[in-house]
């Protein structure tokens, strides 16, 4: 599927990574990767591979902190980051597997994130 019509994970996910979205994705296109930029450099993060996402929308309501948006237009910077990190995330997942999941009611690590 083209980048124009895929869901996107924003940087709200950095250092949170509940991974609730991963379980519901029918095409396994949500991939783990260390966040590349400060202040969350190397913290757990997830991206959506825009080449594989079928835009089904199942992931969006699962995120306890609303870190997923339904189109690149809503956050072009995040869309670029998701796309750019696909090679790193693919390699990281091969070596390390997935991040551990957190219960959806676990309080966010970041003060700027709130449970929905």
Q: Which residues bind ligand SF4 (CB under 6 A)?
A: 7, 9, 13, 16-21, 24-25, 27, 29-30, 46, 48, 53-59, 62-63, 65, 67-68
Q: What is the DSSP string of 25-91?
A: -TT--EEEEE--STTSTTSEEEEE-TTT------SGGG-TT--EESSGGG-HHHHHHHHHTHHHHHH
Which residue lies nearer to ligand SF4 by CB, 59 or 81? 59
CA pair distance 116, 108, nearest whole angstrom: 11
- CB 58, min distance to ligand SF4, A: 4
- CB 14, min distance to ligand SF4, A: 8
Which residue lies nearer to ligand SF4 by CB, 56 or 84? 56
Strand, helix or coil at 94? Answer: helix
Which residue lies nearer to ligand SF4 by CB, 42 or 56? 56
Which residue lies nearer to ligand SF4 by CB, 87 or 101? 101
Kindly state the DSSP code that residue 97 receives in the 8-state scheme: -
């Amino acid at each position: 599927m083209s980048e124009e019509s895929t869901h996107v994970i924003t940087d709200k996910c950095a250092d949170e990574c509940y991974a609730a979205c991963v379980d519901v994705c029918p095409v396994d296109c949500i991939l783990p990767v260390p966040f590349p930029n400060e202040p969350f450099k190397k913290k757990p993060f997830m991206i959506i591979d825009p080449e594989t996402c079928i835009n089904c929308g199942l992931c969006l309501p699962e995120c306890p902190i609303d870190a997923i948006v339904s189109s690149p237009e809503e956050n072009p910077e995040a869309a670029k980051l998701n796309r750019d990190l696909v090679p790193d995330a693919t390699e990281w997942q091969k070596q390390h597997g997935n991040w551990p999941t957190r219960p959806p009611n676990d309080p966010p690590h970041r003060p700027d994130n709130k449970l929905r």
